[in-house]
Amino acid sequence: MYGNIAERCIEVIREICSANYVDIISGNVSPDHVHMLISAPPYLAVSKIVQYIKGKSSRKLQCEFQELQKRYWGQHLWARGYFAASSGQISIKEKHNKGDTFTISEF
């Protein structure tokens, strides 16, 4: 993802996370994958968070960008898998930083 699609992807992911009380601490959108460091409520399973983000963002992005519909017709925008790891040592300053740093990489 790059350009307008990457920028819109970040906006959509922020909307989805906000609606589900998930705080984005940092993130990066690359042409072929997305990295995110998030803080989520304990009652929300990681698999559900990923399901919400991947499902809703795929639908919104494909509806808004015709080139994605043509490229991924009959296929999924995101890969089936994901990687998640927990991190117990996040400083209070990082955790409560509402100005998340979501960047776009061109490589």
Which of residues 62 and 52 earns the better pLDDT score?
A: 52
Number of structural domains the chain divides into: 1
Q: Which residue has the tokens 């117990």?
A: 88
Across the chain, what does the average pLDDT equal? 81
Instruction: Give the CATH number of the domain where residue 46 resides.
Output: 3.30.70.1290
Its domain, for residue 25, covers: 3-104
The confidence band for 52, taking pLDDT boundaries of 50, 70 and 90, is: very high
